[in-house]
């Protein structure tokens, strides 16, 4: 079966034709602003030709011919996360509240994790998993770039550990691996790779994952199930399987003229490139009956040997943990004995068994209070890994640019030794 025939099996013929036609049009770019670093009003004043995302607070649409945000220093500074507009919309419907415990099951490269983290407002925790180790590392680097402190990045096969987390999470994000037909306009390789056999293969994985998600969801909790596929087999049929084999039910999604209500499952919606500013996406909100109890955490006072260091950076009231000669800081406690952890909150200090050295993530996590503000010339030198000249008190200092922290320097004899990670340096 070719793709166009398959599309007309799932949508009215005229709408399917409109979707195909929209794939030849230019696509719209979007970014999610990191409000922990940048004020939305200030950002809008700097870039007046951006427009607000229609569904996502602090999301903005832009034309890449006007602003190439991916090549700006603001990207390196973690001021925003570039994300496709439809994909960005999913978390907006999940109603994440501060203090909640959230699971992102297939999180890399991390857009939905970043959005959930910001909605939690440095309280609560998001467990961000990807089964691919390489993709989990990309996810981890994005968490660091944005300076997030309430994310645990893990690399696990959830089918092997889910029993340790039954009815654990308030909210779950399941952006399931799919055939990718909704992304044909963004990446024409997806079109070449598409086949109906791939749709059916993905359906098996998606069905398994949504049932796992439901087992890990608290009573009263919500799952946002999404794909970037137009296929009923990967969307409505997967949800129908869960509804038929559990007490799950769907939460209605407010429909506006930009969203298409599924004709097979009326509580679910499609983001279509012929109607919405983004690419193709499917979304359903799955609920578990019951009264959701608020997650409660007790942070035990840190009594380790590095309390003075933690107090110096205002971390003493967080959950601080020593692992593998490094010190980590998370917003609240979470048991990790069953998990393959890539990043546990903020990696604050390394070499703690000898001479503790602050980690780059710590500088990006903290605000710019008492940092050394760099001018444009010094900032470029810092990004290139060059030594800076400045007579400061001996020790470690944070440097910032345009009000956003960039990293650490080590002041020795009138020079500021550059501690910007080599993998991030650019000339």
Catalytic residue positions?
228
Question: How many CA atoms lie less than 13 Å away from 209 in the CB half-sphere?
Answer: 28
β-sheet with 395-401: strand ranges across: 372-373, 395-401, 404-412, 415-418, 388-389
Rg (CA), the chain: 23
Sequence-separated (6 or more) residues with CB below 8 Å from residue 256? none
d(CA 285, CA 243): 12
Number of neighbouring beta carbons within 10 Å of residue 252: 11
Distance CA 171, CA 222 (A): 5
């Amino acid at each position: 079966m070719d793709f166009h025939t398959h599309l007309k099996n799932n949508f009215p013929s005229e709408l399917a034709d409109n979707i195909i036609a929209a794939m030849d049009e230019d696509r719209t770019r979007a970014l999610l602003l990191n409000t922990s670093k940048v004020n939305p009003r200030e950002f809008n004043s700097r870039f007046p030709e951006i427009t607000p995302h229609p569904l996502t607070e602090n999301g903005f649409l832009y034309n890449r011919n006007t602003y190439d945000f991916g090549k700006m220093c603001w990207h390196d500074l973690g001021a925003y996360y570039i994300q496709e507009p439809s994909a960005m919309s999913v978390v907006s419907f999940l109603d994440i509240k501060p203090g909640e415990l959230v699971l992102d099951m297939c999180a890399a490269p991390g857009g939905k994790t970043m959005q959930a983290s910001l909605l939690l407002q440095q309280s609560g925790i998001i467990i961000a998993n990807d089964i691919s180790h390489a993709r989990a590392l990309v996810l981890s680097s994005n968490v660091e770039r944005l300076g997030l402190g309430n994310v645990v990045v893990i690399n696990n096969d959830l089918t092997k550990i889910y029993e340790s987390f039954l009815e654990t999470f308030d909210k779950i994000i399941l952006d399931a691996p799919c055939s990718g037909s909704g992304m044909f306009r963004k990446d024409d390789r997806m079109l070449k790779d598409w086949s109906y056999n791939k749709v059916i293969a993905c359906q098996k994985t998606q069905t398994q994952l949504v049932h796992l998600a439901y087992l890990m969801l608290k009573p009263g909790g919500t799952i946002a199930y999404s794909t970037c596929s137009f296929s009923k087999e990967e969307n409505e049929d997967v949800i129908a399987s869960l509804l038929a084999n559990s007490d799950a039910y769907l939460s209605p999604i407010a429909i506006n003229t930009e969203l298409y209500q599924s004709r097979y499952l009326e509580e679910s919606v499609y983001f279509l490139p012929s109607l919405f500013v983004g690419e193709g996406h499917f979304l359903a909100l799955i609920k578990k009956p019951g009264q959701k109890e608020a997650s409660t955490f007790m942070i035990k006072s840190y009594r380790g040997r590095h309390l003075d260091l933690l107090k110096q950076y205002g971390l003493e009231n967080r959950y601080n943990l020593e692992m593998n000669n490094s010190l980590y800081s998370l917003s609240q406690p979470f048991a990790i004995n069953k998990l393959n952890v890539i990043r546990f909150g903020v990696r604050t200090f390394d070499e703690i068994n000898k001479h503790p050295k602050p980690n780059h993530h710590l500088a990006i996590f903290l605000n710019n209070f008492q940092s050394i503000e760099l001018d444009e010339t010094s900032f470029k030198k810092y990004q290139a890994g060059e030594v800076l000249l400045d007579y400061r008190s001996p020790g470690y200092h944070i440097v910032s640019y345009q009000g956003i922290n960039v990293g650490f320097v080590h002041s020795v004899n009138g020079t500021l030794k550059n501690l910007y990670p080599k993998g991030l340096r650019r000339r």
